[in-house]
């Protein structure tokens, strides 16, 4: 089944323009599916029945896989069989009547505006690395960036005069994101005072160079620092998307419309953005309770 999986991934790369990370996830999903089928004595897609897919789903649950990860694997399987039929390599789709798994939507971790302000003030900006950290944190919060988007930024993506950032998101989709005056202030200081020292004299297109001036700072290194800053500030445990979640929530609480937040976040589907409205409703309930005479 491996050649068919490879052909499907090539199709996704060419036709859908999916990122390397997404393709790697699909590959892992389908290869684990193929291994399970092989254990059932099945080596060809034409031998697969819907009962086999249901058995695989049960196997995932028995293995303790989270509902979200299991859902993604089912999406990969459905797409794979749909491709085989569409390309004429198979006549029947055994996954046709298997719907997506329901996943409970947990509310994301969010810091309050005052907590975020406290966190942003933690780096020692008298040091080059501290100035870099402050600029990275300010930009992540100001633009609602994913960590991968932040680390992938180059000097050419930055337009300090216009106050805009060109961001490359999932599926290589690009968007223009405005930066506020605070983020621009710290970014300008970083570019002038710290970045020349951190590049170690090397030519490096990345906005935030890594160790020795090579490549870009790693995701792990960045988040180890952020978690330490949160501990130093006495804040709750934060996660890679905390800045992004806080960005979206604070915009909605300030009166921004959902469509604008969707564009700023780079969500292809507004349904993805709607999870933040739950948080805003909680905020409205708190406001009502605090200020309404019958609250």
241 carries an active-site annotation: yes
Question: Which of 245, 233, 52 has the alpha carbon at shortest distance from 141?
Answer: 245
d(CA 78, CA 219): 31
Catalytic residue among 170, 189, 227, 283: 170
267 carries an active-site annotation: yes
Question: Which of 180, 147, 178 has the alpha carbon at shortest distance from 260?
Answer: 178
Contact 227, 238 (CB under 8 A): yes
Catalytic residue among 27, 71, 82, 241: 241
Catalytic residue among 244, 245, 290, 294: 244
Q: What is the rounded end-to-end Cα distance, in angstroms, of the chain?
A: 62
Question: Which of 35, 27, 21 has the alpha carbon at shortest distance from 7?
Answer: 27
Cβ-in-10-Å burial (0-12, 13-18, 19+) of 33 comes to buried
141 carries an active-site annotation: no
Question: Which of 145, 155, 160 has the alpha carbon at shortest distance from 196?
Answer: 155
Rounded to the nearest 10 degrees, what angle do helices 50-62 and 20-39 cross at? 110
Structure tokens at 164: 């805009």
Catalytic residue among 189, 227, 267, 283: 267
Catalytic residue among 78, 81, 146, 225: 146
105 carries an active-site annotation: no
Active site residues: 146, 170, 241, 244, 267, 276
């Amino acid at each position: 089944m491996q050649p068919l999986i490879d052909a499907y991934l090539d199709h996704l790369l060419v036709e859908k323009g999916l990122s390397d990370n997404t393709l790697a996830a699909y590959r892992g999903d389908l290869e684990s599916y193929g291994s399970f089928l092989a254990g059932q004595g099945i080596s060809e897609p034409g031998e697969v029945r819907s009962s086999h897919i249901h058995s695989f789903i049960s196997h995932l649950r028995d293995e303790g896989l989270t509902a979200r990860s299991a859902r993604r694997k089912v999406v990969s399987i459905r797409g794979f069989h749909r491709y085989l039929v569409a390309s004429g390599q198979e006549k029947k789709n055994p996954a046709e009547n298997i719907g997506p798994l329901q996943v409970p939507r947990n509310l994301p971790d969010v810091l309050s505006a005052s907590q975020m302000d406290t966190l942003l003030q933690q780096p020692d900006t008298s040091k080059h690395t501290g100035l870099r950290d402050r600029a990275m944190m300010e930009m992540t919060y100001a633009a609602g960036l994913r960590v991968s988007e932040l680390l992938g930024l180059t000097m050419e993506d930055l337009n300090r005069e216009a106050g805009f950032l060109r961001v490359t998101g999932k599926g290589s989709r690009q968007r223009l994101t405005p930066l506020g005056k605070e983020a621009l202030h710290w970014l300008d200081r970083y570019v002038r005072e710290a970045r020349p020292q951190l590049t170690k004299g090397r030519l490096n297109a990345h906005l935030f160079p890594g160790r020795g001036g090579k490549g870009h700072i790693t995701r792990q290194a960045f988040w180890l620092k952020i978690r330490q800053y949160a501990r130093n500030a006495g804040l709750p445990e934060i996660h890679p998307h905390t800045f992004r979640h806080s960005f979206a929530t604070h915009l909605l609480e300030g009166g921004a419309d959902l469509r604008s937040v969707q564009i700023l976040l780079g969500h292809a589907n507004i349904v993805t953005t709607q999870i933040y409205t739950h948080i805003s409703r909680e905020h409205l309930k708190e406001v009502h309770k605090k200020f309404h005479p019958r609250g």
